[in-house]
Amino acid sequence: MLVNGKEMRSLWYEDERLKLIDQRKLPEKFEIFEAKSVEDVAYAIKEMVVRGAPAIGCAAVYGVAMAEDLERAGKMLKETRPTAHDLFYAIDTIMEKIKNGEDALECAERYTEEIVEKCRKIGENGAKIIPRNARILTHCNAGALACVDYGTALAPIRIAKEKNLFVWVDETRPRLQGLLTAWELEQEDIEHAIIADNSAGYLMYNGEVDLVIVGADRIARNYDFANKIGTYEKAVVAKENEIPFYVAAPLSTFDKNIENGNQIKIEERREEEIFSIYPWKPKKAKNPAFDITPAKYVTGIITEEGIIELKN
């Protein structure tokens, strides 16, 4: 990804520590968080210094590689966040390789390179379904920050950017991941506008959206999927208005062990994330971080191996 014109990744290993662009501080401040231990990595994932399913998987493999007690590290990292399948897939993958005698750090580096390559391929595959002059709506941040590089939903947009694209960016309350998306698009010089989450339906109804592309945190066997809270309603409104709705995700996001979306555990986060922007504090808030979108609303799933057409 470009940061002030220079190629960068959202995380990398250097000087015996994992360095992460601190996504809590962006876009106001560009700071690097340094994780020196598995405990630091677990903190970074839980507190969303690093976020987005593929990126937290990559952070976790470095966490395992830095640990002395493998089982303890795996358990600690798996307890950080419950919904993204990549986190669990990444931890299980590296633990198995280490147990088979492979070098821990080399495994972490390789896992991360592979994720970047998968996202690049998602970009190439997804670019084919983007028409010229398309106005694309996206939700949350499924860009390079969330995936180390390229992104999932943003990868096709980056690769097809010469097609004169425009991106509607949902703000994504309460953590405002849409600001991260707007920041990435600005860095890549792709035309966009941020909108309040409530505006998406109005724009779709008015014929101002040609295509929706979102990421995913976990995809069930029947292709129901979990993604950032607010995705479900965008999918329903897209179908109502006959707008193609695509999900972009690597195969590591597919959970073969669950039949449908109702079996996905949805993370509940702190109430303060909701009220933090108010001067007055209401008594109660509810803050589910993800929702489930049934497969019947999905046109297709863009993966590194091609597009799964769902014929909806």
Report, as residue numbers or ranges, the catalytic residues.
217
Q: Reduced to 3 states, what is the DSSP secondary structure of residue 246?
A: strand
Using CB under 6 A as the binding rule, whether residue 51 contacts ligand MRU is answered as yes
Region binding ligand MRU by CB under 6 A among candidate stretches 8-16, 114-122, 134-142, 204-212: 134-142
Using CB under 6 A as the binding rule, whether residue 213 contacts ligand MRU is answered as no
Binding mask 64-93 for ligand MRU (x = CB under 6 A): ------------------------------
**Could you say which of 59, 95, 115, 147 contacts ligand MRU (CB under 6 A)?**
147
**Could you say which of 10, 80, 93, 177 contacts ligand MRU (CB under 6 A)?**
177
Q: Where are the beta strands (DSSP E) in the chain?
A: 2-3, 6-7, 11-14, 17-21, 32-35, 135-138, 166-170, 192-195, 211-214, 218-219, 225-228, 245-248, 290-293, 300-303, 306-309
Cis bond before residue 282 (omega within 30° of 0): no
Q: Which residues of 128-161 are buried (b: 16+ CB within 10 A; e: fewer)?
A: ebbeeebbbbbbbbbbbbbbbbbbbbbbbbbbbb
Cα distance between the two ends of the chain: 33
Q: In whole angstroms, what is the distance from residue 226 CA to residue 216 CA?
A: 6
Pick 51 or 239: Cβ nearer ligand MRU: 51
Secondary structure (DSSP) of 165-180: -EEEEE--TTTTHHHH
Chain positions 99 to 128 lying near ligand MRU, rule: CB under 6 A, are: none
Q: Nearest distance from residue 258's CB to ligand MRU, in Å?
A: 17
**Could you say which of 227, 293, 299, 303 contacts ligand MRU (CB under 6 A)?**
227
CA separation, residue 307 to residues 117, 179, 200, 251, 312 (Å): 16, 28, 25, 11, 14
Number of other residues whose CB lies within 10 A of the CB of residue 99: 9
Pick 97 or 183: Cβ nearer ligand MRU: 183
Region binding ligand MRU by CB under 6 A among candidate stretches 4-12, 185-193, 197-205, 208-216: 208-216
Whose CA is closest to 210, among 236, 240, 243? Answer: 243
Using CB under 6 A as the binding rule, whether residue 140 contacts ligand MRU is answered as yes
Q: Nearest distance from residue 101's CB to ligand MRU, in Å?
A: 32
198 Cα distance to chain centroid: 21
Q: Which residue is nearest to ligand MRU (CB)?
A: 215
Using CB under 6 A as the binding rule, whether residue 52 contacts ligand MRU is answered as yes
Q: Nearest distance from residue 203's CB to ligand MRU, in Å?
A: 19
Using CB under 6 A as the binding rule, whether residue 217 contacts ligand MRU is answered as yes
Count of residues engaged in binding ligand MRU, rule: CB under 6 A: 18
Number of other residues whose CB lies within 10 A of the CB of residue 110: 15
Q: Give strand pairing partners of 7.
A: 2
**Could you say which of 216, 258, 264, 292 contacts ligand MRU (CB under 6 A)?**
216
**Could you say which of 95, 115, 134, 146 contacts ligand MRU (CB under 6 A)?**
146
Chain positions 255 to 294 lying near ligand MRU, rule: CB under 6 A, are: 289
Pick 64 or 229: Cβ nearer ligand MRU: 229
Two tokens, residue 129:
């379904």
Interface residues with ligand MRU (CB under 6 A) are 51-54, 140-142, 146-147, 152, 177, 214-217, 227-228, 289
